[in-house]
Amino acid sequence: MTQQIETGTVMTIESDDEFRARIRQWFADNRPAKRPRDPAERKSWVRAYHARMYDARMTGPSWPLEYGGMGLSFAQQVIYQEELAKARVPSPLGTGLGIVAPTIITYGTDEQKQRWLGPMLRQDLIWCQGYSEPGAGSDLPALRTTARREDDFYVVNGQKVWTTHATDADVFFTLVRTGTQESRQKGITYLIIDAHAPGVTVRPLKDITGGEHFAEVFFDDVRVPIADRIGEENQGWPLVRTSLGHERAAGAMNQATNYRRILDELIALARERGLTTDPLTRDRLADFEIRVRLMKYNASRIINDIIAHGEPGPASSVSRLFITMFEQELHEFAVEMLGADGIVTRDSERAIQRGRWLTGFLGSRASTIGAGTSEIQRNTIAEQVLGLPRDPAMPAR
């Protein structure tokens, strides 16, 4: 395949092989500096690197050109993700790029798109999701955070929890209740909230790995301009479905390329330690090899659906379920394969590869909960992919 690219004021034709070579060379010429240990310095380091990528038009592979993206074809998006994984560049901060960005592109006004998309992609502003609540995780229509109209503002009160990277956030994309509690999904509105506004409190939560990747967020009479609402009041539920579908779709190709590299590293470790002489170990590694290839093919199918229909569709739930189960089982096997060395923590001098496999094992315990539990994914697959009878307890589309 070929694609037109702009070089100065001239449009030239670039083949897929030429595109891969150009992408690979850019990452080779622009390797990130060593990762800082200090959290504040690390945050600045990530933002600076992604700003460099944005300024060079080397980020946002699926994003339209007018919003700072690359506007790549499907084939070149796959190539880009493969080279990005090999380059080992720092992941962007926050959760906005794969979740709220497609929602803004689909439902936002022209003014909102111009105001938010470029700074989000450049990492000038870090966006985080504010969906889950103490009593509304998998059952999002039960959320209780309220937004009351007052002149040209909403006044927001409530609590969110398990908010990923909330301590880094400049902006929250948030679900609030503007209807009655009984209205469930018919009374939900999609708001964009300044994370530094008066009345916003963020409290970190320590997880089983010892890290603080999540937080709880409190809103106490936070005033949000009506202009910062996406879509219409009480009509946020379809936007939620777009956000979650794109979250699973965006993660599919990224994770497929990342787990290709991670599995290769695990196989290399097994060989280094002489463990591949065990036929059971070889059998398990072969199984993971098959599954990591399937992961890539399924991710490609989802991207094709987005290109064809504008939405990832229910197949994104297949990908989400497959990847989270793979992630858990791979790390369980890695710890088991390493034996006693596999349970040495990263602080010990005896830790294998700084304890990465134990840390991954502990972190993956939450994989089948976040972004919709495995039970939710199975319901979606059963009803919308296999055509089985609908669960009456689940909200209507």
pLDDT tens-digit profile of 82-120? 888 888 899 899 988 878 888 898 899 999 999 999 999
pLDDT confidence of residue 290? 94
What the block records as the tokens of 336 is 């088991």
Given pLDDT bands bounded at 50, 70 and 90, which one contains residue 241? low
The pLDDT of 148-161, averaged and rounded, is 96
Helices within the chain (DSSP H only):
16-29, 39-55, 74-87, 100-107, 110-122, 237-272, 279-309, 315-338, 356-363, 374-380
DSSP state for residue 70 in the 8-state scheme: -
Residue 371's Cα: distance from chain center in Å?
A: 9
Place of tokens 């006004």: 109
| Angle, in degrees to the nearest 10, between helices 279-309 and 315-338 | 160
Q: What are 183-230's pLDDT values in tens digits?
A: 988 999 999 999 999 999 999 988 777 777 789 999 999 999 999 999
Greater confidence, 365 or 30?
30
Q: Domains of the chain (ranges plus CATH)?
A: 16-91 (no CATH), 127-233 (2.40.110.10), 238-386 (1.20.140.10)
Question: In this model, does residue 235 exceed pLDDT 70?
Answer: yes
CA distance linking residue 196 with residue 273, whole number of Å? 50
Catalytic positions are 247
Q: Provide the phi-psi class of 260: left if phi over 0, else alpha when psi is between -120 and 50, else beta.
A: alpha
Compute the mean pLDDT over every residue in the chain, rounded to the nearest whole number.
Answer: 85
Of 390, 141, 129, the closest CA to residue 250 belongs to 129
* d(C-alpha 147, C-alpha 190), whole Å: 10
pLDDT of residue 8: 45
Q: Are 357 and 331 in contact (CB under 8 A)?
A: yes
Query: DSSP letter at 44?
Result: H
Full-model pTM = 0.76
Predicted confidence (pLDDT) per residue in 303-333, tens digit = 776 666 666 666 677 777 888 888 999 999 9
Q: What percent helix, strand, coil does the chain show, rounded to 5?
A: 55, 15, 30
3-class state of residue 57 by DSSP: coil
Sequence-ordered list of residues with C-beta below 8 angstroms from that of 98, at least 6 positions apart, any chain: 246, 247, 249, 250, 251, 254
The pairing of beta strand 2-7 with beta strand 214-225: unpaired
Residues listed for the chain: 397
